[in-house]
Amino acid sequence: MLVPVGFQYRTDAEQFLREFRERLAKFDLELHADKTRLIEFGRFAARDRKQRGEGKPETFTFLGFTHFCGQLTNGAFIVWRITAKKRMVAKLKAIKAELQRRKHHRTTEVGAWLRKVVLGYYQYHAVRGNSTQLRIFSRRVCWLWRSVLVSPQSTRTGAMGSSLPSLDPVDSATPHSASLS
């Protein structure tokens, strides 16, 4: 389980970590060594690391998003969040498996199901700065659906390839799709 905790000063973070380990030890619990780390993150992290010649601040993944330090065009600090690669790949694999399972169902039924899945994904992952990842997800879902609809044999003969309608499961009239940018 990951629980990010923020502190202004490194000494406070180190003290918290020490005391937290002690508290867990009272209950015969311990932190996983590979998953517990202190990272420099926040408004001054980039500046401080640059002064020390250490490069960009580290990132962390939490709740399906990779979090990293950034700046707005006016120079203000912002925590950017993009969909974690692992999360997107897992969802695309699940969709592919389900599309294969539903291969012989009516196209309208599969389309309605797929639209619900994509909208649910968008409702969770539609955060500021993540529109590129959402576009990638949408394109990959469309590609998966096309690959299930068009069998390899019909692709070779050219029977359906050019006559397929647009398979974008997100209707542009949907209120949710307007807030993705």
113 and 141: one domain? yes
61 and 34: one domain? no
16 and 67: one domain? no
pLDDT in tens, 11-40: 888 888 888 888 888 999 888 887 787 777
pLDDT in tens, 69-92: 888 888 888 888 889 999 999 999
- Has residue 57 got a pLDDT over 60? yes
pLDDT confidence band for 164 (50 / 70 / 90): very low
Give the pLDDT confidence score for residue 114 in this predicted structure: 93
Please give the residue range of the domain that contains residue 91: 85-178
- Has residue 173 got a pLDDT over 50? no
100 and 168: one domain? yes
54 and 94: one domain? no
117 and 140: one domain? yes
103 and 172: one domain? yes
User: Which phi and psi (to 5°) does residue 21 adopt?
Assistant: -60, -45
107 and 163: one domain? yes
66 and 141: one domain? no
170 and 134: one domain? yes
144 and 162: one domain? yes
CA distance 105 to 127: 33
pLDDT confidence band for 132 (50 / 70 / 90): very high
Q: CA 23, 25, 29: angle at the middle one, nearest 5?
A: 110
CA distance 181 to 162: 30
Question: How many structural domains comprise the chain?
Answer: 3
